[in-house]
Structure 1
Amino acid sequence: MKTIFSLSTLLACISTVFCLRNDPSILVIGAGPAGIAAATRLLERGFKNVTVLEAESRIGGRILSVKFGDAFVDLGAQWCHGEEDNVVYDLVKDFNILRHSTLSKKFYHSSGKVIDEGFSEEIFNIMDEVYTADGNRHVPDYLTVGDYCKQNFNETLHQKYGHDREKLGLALSTMDYFQHKVLGFEGSFSWYEPAAKNDYRDCGGDLQLNWNGLGYKTILEVLMRKYPNKIRQLPIDTKIILNNEVRKIRWNENLLKNAVTVSCSDGTEYTVDHVIFTPSIGVLKERAYTMFEPRLSDIKHQVIGNIGFGSVMKVALHFPKRWWGDENGFNFFWSSEDKWSVLRDLPEDPNWIGTSWVTYLYAIETTEKNPKVLIAWFTGNFVPVIEQLSDRVLINGIYYVLKKFLSQEYEINKPDRINRSQWYSNPHFRGVYSFQTVKCKRGNGVTSETILATPLTNVENRPIVQFAGEATHP
């Protein structure tokens, strides 16, 4: 998953605030990591007239660390991706929090048969060679991730296993799993949405560092100086107003002070000198036309449409007792016949064009410091429907998959409770993280993210409304 905020972008935003005098009034919209980073930096630099508005009943945005079982589990942002040129890593590296994650490279087949571990690892290594989140690929601009991955995965498998018909057939049947795995990284509903060539670059070093049971929320506590010692914490709690959704942003380019009036769901209005807007691109896609007055430029609306945004769903499963021994996860792939059999076994459950929702569950992972908890991952275009399923249906469906794939090796007990993400259903997010589509490039190095990040300015060309957050940075 992408880093949820770009501190360098925010610092550039904040530096422009220094152009304003006499303790300007600053309103930060959104108390996710981008909003918290902006507010804390402003407070550190001596600005006092700062207010943060948050539509949810909590801070964190798409960081959602919840106490579940013996530790915190992350239903949103989960890993620190890399150790070089990574602001998240730089902020916490001296606290000895992060740990290496060992993810499973074992495949399990819907027939219940055990897949040879050596063969499983070979397939995983091929997937990792074909696809990385880093978009520095020498391919045409019009090519999608799906086009690129499908062609290269097929070619590599035929080269490696073409002499062995049985192995080749088994390897090719992992294509559906590969697609779900890619969607987990891209955050899209289809792998034909993201561009194969994009501006996202991996940071060097370990790309999947976990938070050792403390949760990704720790980065918020570090930003607010609540961690490791609350004695030094910034006075930000008194600046945050929760449960207050922004409905309208009226901005006047002719005013040098009090240029922006923000109207909220509870009827309150804030008239300020400067606004930093951090909600997701999903919110902008749904509400940009009605939220801003005067409306944003045509080019800004165009790039809001061009930037991709989808969703991933995670379900935390708590079991009465640990049944998986020392395993650190399971990866599932289905035969066509077994996909059809699910429709007979679960006839009342929702399906998408003859494919049951349970087949969108592609991986289950362990989580740190939580011996009785597993995390189930769902990706694909059926996620919005799966988010609406009841706990009972989710538990029964996931239990069905576990028994179908693993009962020959394990004595599985049924989850006794769950906690799940609902990023797409939530109108304050409408998804997880952005990605570049083939429409995002505009030539001369200009991207949709660059245009989105361009501030709204006054007659003196000073920013009065600025845009921050992960969608303003590739």
Structure 2
Amino acid sequence: MSACTDGPAFGKTKETARIVIIGAGASGIAAATRLLEQGFKNVQLFEAEDRIGGRINTVPFADSFVDLGAQWCHGEEGNVVYEKVKDLDVLDRTGDFAGYFVRSNKEILSDDQAKALMEFKDNFEMKPDWEGSVGDAITESYWKEVGQQLVPNDRSVAKEALDSLKRHICSEDACDHVFELSPRSYLNFATSGGDQNLSWRRKGYWKFLSLLLNANEDQPGDQGDLKGHVQLNKRIAEINWSGDGELTLRCWNGQIVSADHVICTVSLGVLKKKHQKLFVPALPAAKVRSIEGLGLGTVNKFLLEFEEQPMPENMRGVAFLWLEEDLKELRGGKFFWLESISTVHRVDRQPRLLEGWIIGAHARYMETLSEERVLEGLQWLFRKFLKFSVPHPKSFLRSQWHSNPNFRGSYSFYPTYADELRTGRTDLGSPLVHVSGRPRVQFAGEASSRNHFSTVHGATESGWREADRLNEFYKGRAEN
């Protein structure tokens, strides 16, 4: 259908089209800055938080800055984050984990055992024809390739190591447990070649956002080129996309906003919680299946600052292996949530810090505890596993992504439930369009990325994708 028959929107141009972007995370910022570069004039971002950045949250802590959200640049080839900063000398190579696998009786696995475990994890490949979960595949492969070779005639140590590896995989893929993780999480993800854990030298992931925004890198939160286009503390209560004309958005404070196009970049967790009330009329069935089928897990981190580094000089980090009898006792006590801590390690360029990771239901539970109770548990964990003393930290910081109503989790994954529903990220990212092809409601964010989900570069690409979709539509109108 020719754009000239496009009903109420006839006559709109890049100068007059009203575009509202919901969410000022990486995808929202990427969409907004590109739209402005492409000549769109009326671009507004509505952000529910009191800051921009979304799940990038760089904050001052200890001797420099830390990232409470996205932390590493994952890969160098085909990674738009790396391409943006590669010539600026702002990334360091983290290298291998090079940590210790420590049992709950303080025994440490040998270097050869640790090497075998990490090589198994790094070299594991998901077979395209595998039927079952990642957990099933990992378990079968592990016992064939490593298993009791770790400690001959002692299956218990091998099982402890496997459980530790599973927690590590969960911390990377954001699932509660590996048996809910679909093989598509591996098969559909396009790994960017090169170092997978490039760390930021000074300003954390804010450095990347500051480049997108043309903002001051020394002032995390500076809106740069988007100054005047961002409204903070603006949570959207309703997106009314009925009819085929303008859309109406209602904010929680009662403010009404009209738009010709809406780009929704809220997290999958918010969509899961709110889509039934957020969209009027209800979303199409295929969109609902994708929202309900895909998963958004919880991965939290905690950071501890000390007067001096408590870990021995030759130790980069620790992974925890629970003896069966200790695990049974743990599960019956008040520190049960410690089971889901995967690793604790040093932090690049912050020599006095330790950083730890916790996954799933226990991560969500930790968010409900006071800092004092969390520290009490961590001190107990250190005493249980480590031969050296870890003093009470000078300061403490943690993330709480699930309990924040504007996120409801950390990053997305493919669960086996999505396989059962025959849905995926293409359905999530597909726009709601007028019969003329005019995009009305568009969707962006890491969860909508087909090949780079759960990453900042995937989120950024999705924002550019939706900006380009609008640009292409208006380019077509100009040609008619």
Say if 1:123 and 1:171, in contact at 8 Å, map to a contact too.
no
In the TM superposition, residue 340 of structure 1 has moved relative to its aligned partner by: 3.3
Selected match of 2:260 from 247, 264, 273: 273
Q: SS of 1:72's equivalent?
A: strand
- Which residue of the partner structure matches residue 225 of structure 2? 235
Distance 2:430 2:389 in 1: 56
- Which residue of the partner structure matches residue 133 of structure 2? 144
- Superposed, which structure 2 residues align to 1:377-416 within 5 Å? 377-406=357-386, 408=387, 410-416=388-394
Q: SS of 1:165's equivalent?
A: coil
- Which residue of the partner structure matches residue 89 of structure 1? 82
Selected match of 1:212 from 192, 201, 204: 201
Q: Residue deviations 1:34-92, cap 9 Å, x none?
A: 00111111122222211110001111111122211012112211111111111111111
Distance 2:141 2:360 in 1: 21
Q: Bigger shift: 206-215 or 320-329? A: 320-329
Say if 1:224 and 1:236, in contact at 8 Å, map to a contact too.
yes
Q: SS of 1:99's equivalent?
A: strand
Work out the number of aligned pairs and report it. Answer: 434
In the TM superposition, residue 442 of structure 1 has moved relative to its aligned partner by: 9.1
- Which residue of the partner structure matches residue 285 of structure 1? 272
- Which residue of the partner structure matches residue 456 of structure 2? none
- Which residue of the partner structure matches residue 14 of structure 1? none
Selected match of 2:111 from 107, 117, 123: 117
Q: Note closer, same or farther for the CA distance 1:394–1:228 as it changes in structure 2 (3 Å cut).
A: closer
Q: Residue deviations 1:319-344, cap 9 Å, x none?
A: 23322143321111110112234468
- Which residue of the partner structure matches residue 57 of structure 1? 50
Say if 1:323 and 1:412, in contact at 8 Å, map to a contact too.
yes
Given the alignment of the two structures, is residue 417 of structure 1 paired with residue 410 of structure 2, yes or no? no
Selected match of 1:42 from 29, 35, 43: 35
Say if 1:249 and 1:292, in contact at 8 Å, map to a contact too.
yes
Distance 2:322 2:71 in 1: 27
Q: SS of 2:86's equivalent?
A: helix
Q: SS of 1:235's equivalent?
A: helix
- Which residue of the partner structure matches residue 431 of structure 1? 409
Q: SS of 1:173's equivalent?
A: helix
Length-normalised TM-score, structure 1: 0.86
Distance 1:439 1:169 in 2: 31
- Which residue of the partner structure matches residue 446 of structure 2? 470
In the TM superposition, residue 178 of structure 1 has moved relative to its aligned partner by: 1.2
Distance 1:265 1:322 in 2: 46
Say if 1:63 and 1:216, in contact at 8 Å, map to a contact too.
yes
Say if 1:399 and 1:415, in contact at 8 Å, map to a contact too.
no
The residue type equivalent to 1:83 in the other structure is E
Q: Residue deviations 1:221-278, cap 9 Å, x none?
A: 1100126699x985312211111101000113422xxx11111112211101111110
Distance 1:146 1:374 in 2: 29
In the TM superposition, residue 161 of structure 1 has moved relative to its aligned partner by: 4.8
Q: Note closer, same or farther for the CA distance 1:171–1:36 as it changes in structure 2 (3 Å cut).
A: same
In the TM superposition, residue 404 of structure 1 has moved relative to its aligned partner by: 1.5
Distance 2:81 2:284 in 1: 33
The residue type equivalent to 2:196 in the other structure is L
The residue type equivalent to 1:71 in the other structure is S
Distance 2:148 2:320 in 1: 24
Say if 2:300 and 2:399, in contact at 8 Å, map to a contact too.
yes
Distance 2:216 2:434 in 1: 38
4+ residue runs over 6 A deviation: none
Say if 1:106 and 1:121, in contact at 8 Å, map to a contact too.
no
Selected match of 1:72 from 55, 59, 65: 65
Q: Residue deviations 1:169-191, cap 9 Å, x none?
A: 32222122111101011111121
Distance 2:337 2:416 in 1: 29
- Which residue of the partner structure matches residue 328 of structure 2? 340
Say if 1:306 and 1:439, in contact at 8 Å, map to a contact too.
yes
Selected match of 2:191 from 202, 209, 215: 202
Q: Percent identity?
A: 34
Q: In proportion to residue count, which structure has more helix?
A: 2
Say if 1:361 and 1:376, in contact at 8 Å, map to a contact too.
yes
Q: Note closer, same or farther for the CA distance 1:343–1:153 as it changes in structure 2 (3 Å cut).
A: closer
Distance 2:44 2:409 in 1: 26
- Which residue of the partner structure matches residue 316 of structure 2? 328
Q: SS of 2:205's equivalent?
A: coil
Given the alignment of the two structures, is residue 449 of structure 1 paired with residue 425 of structure 2, yes or no? yes
Q: Note closer, same or farther for the CA distance 1:32–1:200 as it changes in structure 2 (3 Å cut).
A: same
- Which residue of the partner structure matches residue 359 of structure 1? 339
Say if 1:63 and 1:217, in contact at 8 Å, map to a contact too.
yes
In the TM superposition, residue 118 of structure 1 has moved relative to its aligned partner by: 2.3
- Which residue of the partner structure matches residue 106 of structure 1? 100
Say if 2:102 and 2:109, in contact at 8 Å, map to a contact too.
yes
Q: Note closer, same or farther for the CA distance 1:382–1:411 as it changes in structure 2 (3 Å cut).
A: closer
In the TM superposition, residue 20 of structure 1 has moved relative to its aligned partner by: 4.2
Length-normalised TM-score, structure 2: 0.85
- Which residue of the partner structure matches residue 144 of structure 2? 155
Distance 1:398 1:473 in 2: 36
Q: Bigger shift: 190-199 or 91-100? A: 190-199
The residue type equivalent to 1:109 in the other structure is R
Distance 2:330 2:176 in 1: 22
Q: In structure 1, list runs of 5 or more residues that go unmatched.
A: 1-17, 351-355
The residue type equivalent to 1:472 in the other structure is S
Distance 2:153 2:294 in 1: 41
Q: SS of 1:303's equivalent?
A: helix
In the TM superposition, residue 466 of structure 1 has moved relative to its aligned partner by: 0.5
Say if 2:134 and 2:181, in contact at 8 Å, map to a contact too.
yes
Distance 1:229 1:184 in 2: 30
Say if 2:293 and 2:423, in contact at 8 Å, map to a contact too.
no
- Which residue of the partner structure matches residue 8 of structure 1? none
Q: In structure 2, list runs of 5 or more residues that go unmatched.
A: 1-10, 451-480
